[in-house]
Amino acid sequence: MSEKLKYERPIITKITAGVTDKFGMQSKMPIITAIDNIPVEKLIKDYGSPSFILSEKTIKKTFNDAKRAFTTRYPNVQFAWSYKTNYMNAVCRIFHKEGSWAEVVSGFEYDKALRNGVAGNKIIFNGPDKSKEDLIKATENGSYIHIDHFDELYDLLSIAETTEKRPKVAIRVNMDTGIYPQWDRFGFNYENGEAWNALNRILISKKLDLVGLHTHIGTYMMTPTPYAVAASKLAELAVRLDRKFNHKIKYIDMGGGFASKNTLKGAYLPGKDTCPTFDEYAEAISDALINSELDPNEMPTLFLETGRALIDDAGYIIGSVLANKRLANGRRSMIIDTGVNMLFTSFWYEHEIYPAKEFSSHAEDTTIYGPLCMNIDVIRSAVKFPLLQKGDHYVIKRIGAYNMTQWMQFITLRPKIVLIDTEGNTHIIRENETNESMTALEKVPNYLN
C-alpha cells in the first residue's frame, strides 16, 4: 500500500514579479555576479564560502573623491586613516600609500601604525585610554597626542619633565552641534568652558606644544550642518588663543563620522539616496573655517579622520545559501553562511544582499538568518528576496567598515579576507581561522591532561 502524502499547509502569497512597490521602485532585484570583473563563483571556489572581499579600486576611487571634495575648497588638507574602522594591514597600507596619516585610539593601534611604516610624526593618537608608556612613546616619536581629559593632561605635564622632546598636543573638544544625544563623554566640553580652561592650562604651563584642536562629533552623521557648527566653534577657540596668547595653532581636526551609503534600520529611504556627498560635508566645513575670524594668511591645516565613508563601499561578503524553510506562520526564511558574528553592522544596518546569478522573477517576503544557533542571528528581518536554493551564492554589499575589526569569534571560525588589487589580481590579506589558530592562546592545566 502506498504511503499517504504528508499534509502541508497551503500558503497564499502575492506574486510580485514585474510590479513596482509602494515607492514606485522595481521589485526585481539586481544581481551581482562579479566583483571587479572576477566572478563570484570563482572567488568562492578559490577562497571558500563565506569570504570577505575588498576592492582596492573602490578604496582608491572613494579616497580620491573625498580628497578632491576637500582640496578644491580648502587650501591645506590632510587625511588620517581611522585604524579602528578597518585595521587590516593591507588596507592601512593602501591608505598610507595614498598619503593618509594614521589615526589611532589605543596603544595596540599605535604600534600597528608604526609597524605599517608610518612615521611617528604622522600618527594622531586619540582616545580616552593612553597609558603613561604610550604617552612617553608618542612624545618621543613626535606624534600628535589629542588629550581627552584632565587626568591625561596632568600625566602629560609630569611626563614633559622627563622626556627629551616636548609633547605635541591638541585637545579633543565636544560641543552642542544640534545633534542629540551629544557625544560629551570624549574630550573637553565647549559650552561649559572646560575646553577653554584646558587650553589655558596648557599654554600657561609652557611645557607642552599646543599644535591643534580636535573634535569627532559622532558617527554616521546624516547631515553636514553639525560639522559647520563644530568647525565654527573650533575656529573661535583658535582665534581666542591667538588674541590672548599670541599663539597660532597649526591644525583643526574635524574627526570622522561621515555617513556611508548603507541604510539604517527603520530608515524610510535607502541610504544611498539620502546620505550627504563628500562635497556637501566639505562645503559645510570649509565654508565655516574660511568665513571665520581665522587669519587668512595662516589658515590651519584641516585634518580629517574619515573612516566609515572611505571603506564601507569597498567591502563585500560572498557566501552560500544553507537552507530554506517555512516559519510557523508560513513566512519564508532563508539560512545563509554569514552570521552576525562576522557581520556586526547588521545590528544597525539593513544590509543590501543580492543573488549572485540569474533567478526567477518571483520574489517573496523573506527573513534571512545566519548560521549561528542563536536567536539574535538575523541578517535581514524582512526583505523581498528571490527563491535561491541551497548552495546558491549571494553577495552582501558595503560591509568594509567596522566588520573586520568588531567581528567576534563565536561558534564558527572567521573566514579569509581577500583583496582584489587594481590590476585584478587577488591576494589573501588574512587567512581563515583554524582550530589551531583559535586555541593557540589557550592553556589546559596539567591535571586536566
Ligand X SMILES: *Cc1c(COP(=O)(O)O)cnc(C)c1O
Tell whether residue 126 is a contact of ligand X (CB under 6 A).
yes
Kindly tell me which of 55 and 126 has the beta carbon lying closer to ligand X.
126
Q: Which of 51, 62, 78, 82 binds ligand X (CB under 6 A)?
A: 82
Q: Which of 67, 122, 168, 308 binds ligand X (CB under 6 A)?
A: 308
Size of the site for ligand X (CB under 6 A): 17
Tell whether residue 371 is a contact of ligand X (CB under 6 A).
no
* Structural contact between residues 434 and 413, judged by C-beta atoms closer than 8 angstroms: yes
- Residue 177 CB, shortest distance to ligand X, in Å, is 15
Tell whether residue 105 is a contact of ligand X (CB under 6 A).
yes
Tell whether residue 84 is a contact of ligand X (CB under 6 A).
yes
- Residue 140 CB, shortest distance to ligand X, in Å, is 22
Tell whether residue 393 is a contact of ligand X (CB under 6 A).
no
Kindly tell me which of 36 and 312 has the beta carbon lying closer to ligand X.
312
Q: Which of 307, 315, 319, 371 binds ligand X (CB under 6 A)?
A: 307
Stretch that binds ligand X, among 33-41, 233-241, 301-309, 409-417 (CB under 6 A): 301-309
Which stretches does DSSP call E strand in 105-187? Answer: 123-125, 144-147, 168-174
- Residue 218 CB, shortest distance to ligand X, in Å, is 8
Tell whether residue 255 is a contact of ligand X (CB under 6 A).
yes
Tell whether residue 313 is a contact of ligand X (CB under 6 A).
no
Q: Map residues 394-413 to x or -, x wherever contact with ligand X holds by CB under 6 A.
A: -------x------------
Tell whether residue 370 is a contact of ligand X (CB under 6 A).
no
- Residue 109 CB, shortest distance to ligand X, in Å, is 10
Which SS3 state, helix, strand or coil, does residue 159 take? helix
Stretch that binds ligand X, among 111-119, 254-262, 319-327, 420-428 (CB under 6 A): 254-262
Tell whether residue 312 is a contact of ligand X (CB under 6 A).
no
Kindly tell me which of 276 and 307 has the beta carbon lying closer to ligand X.
307
Stretch that binds ligand X, among 88-96, 255-263, 318-326, 354-362 (CB under 6 A): 255-263
Which amino acid is residue 38, in one-letter code? I
Tell whether residue 67 is a contact of ligand X (CB under 6 A).
no
Cα 227 from Cα 245, distance rounded (Å): 27
Stretch that binds ligand X, among 50-58, 200-208, 302-310, 422-430 (CB under 6 A): 302-310
- Residue 257 CB, shortest distance to ligand X, in Å, is 4
Kindly tell me which of 56 and 253 has the beta carbon lying closer to ligand X.
253
- Residue 312 CB, shortest distance to ligand X, in Å, is 9
Kindly tell me which of 52 and 227 has the beta carbon lying closer to ligand X.
227
Cα 85 from Cα 399, distance rounded (Å): 11
Q: Which of 73, 122, 216, 393 binds ligand X (CB under 6 A)?
A: 216
Binding positions for ligand X, rule: CB under 6 A? 82, 84-85, 103, 105, 126, 216, 219, 255-258, 305-308, 401
